[in-house]
Amino acid sequence: MILFPAIDLKEGQCVRLAQGDMDRATVFSDDPAEQARAFERVGFEYLHVVDLDGAFAGAPRNASAVEAILAALTIPVQLGGGIRDMRTLSRWLDQGVARVIIGTAAVKDPSFVREAARLYPGRVAVGVDAKDGCVAVDGWARATRMSALDLGRSFEDAGVSAIIYTDISRDGVLTGLNIDATLALADALTIPVIASGGLASLADVERLLQPDCRKLAGAITGRALYDGRLDPAQALALIRRARAATEDA
């Protein structure tokens, strides 16, 4: 399992939203690149970045901040937010993004996802952002009638590298991951699933390391890191011990 620290970008700053509400943003850093370096220094292996303004606008809005993050790191970065066409997607991959995350366009233009996954195998993920089981788009501002499960299943044969499942109602409010819904999605799909939304403490990391969660490819953590509720050294040590135990077995 990979634990992804999250950097959400709004107007060039690192912020955390509560339940995806742009009016409930807390600024944690004015220097996203330095925040990214701090995450790498402590031992994280992969960074999760979202251009929040881009998600609402439908096109990149924090490009300079993303470029500074890419220049600052040696670990891989996955990026979402405002990636709605092949030109944008290709540009980010060419600039060093390891994996792009397609959210809104996965609902509105599924053929784009399929073509992107064909052209860039292993480098395209789908963001499945759901509230009460139904997918939300356009920066989570608009709900659809499509279920998270139906969206995930629609890409089973597309070659996408991962599904990032976010429970919007839990995102940024530190109530714990929706393990049941995430595992139900992972059970129904062959695509690796990454959990997102609500990770609050070391206890959540311990839960993710239980046998029934071994099917998950990872989890994303944001506010708990910034608030100091989750000690990254402790969390990463737990994960390393779990990996070692699995390898020994």
| 85: number of Cβ within 10 Å | 15
The reply to whether 21 belongs to the active site is no
The reply to whether 187 belongs to the active site is no
Tokens of 160: 């996408």
Instruction: Count Cα neighbours of 87 within 13 Å in the Cβ-side half-sphere.
Output: 3
Tokens of 14: 């690192």
Question: By C-alpha distance, which of 98, 62, 67, 96 is closest to 81?
Answer: 62
Residue 96 identity (one-letter amino acid): G
List, as own/partner pairs, every contact residues 41-45 make where C-beta atoms lie below 8 angstroms and the sequence separation is at least 24, other chains included. 42/232, 42/233, 42/236, 43/232, 43/233, 43/236, 44/3, 44/4, 44/5, 44/75, 44/232, 44/236, 45/2, 45/75, 45/76
Radius of gyration from C-alpha coordinates of the chain: 17
Cα 62 from chain centroid?
Answer: 17
Which of 51, 53, 129, 171 is the catalytic position? 129
Question: By C-alpha distance, which of 232, 233, 215 is closest to 1?
Answer: 215
Residues 195 and 225 sit within 8 Å (Cβ to Cβ): no
Angstrom distances, CA of residue 51 to CA of 24, 57, 102, 129: 16, 10, 12, 15
Please list the active-site residues.
Answer: 8, 129
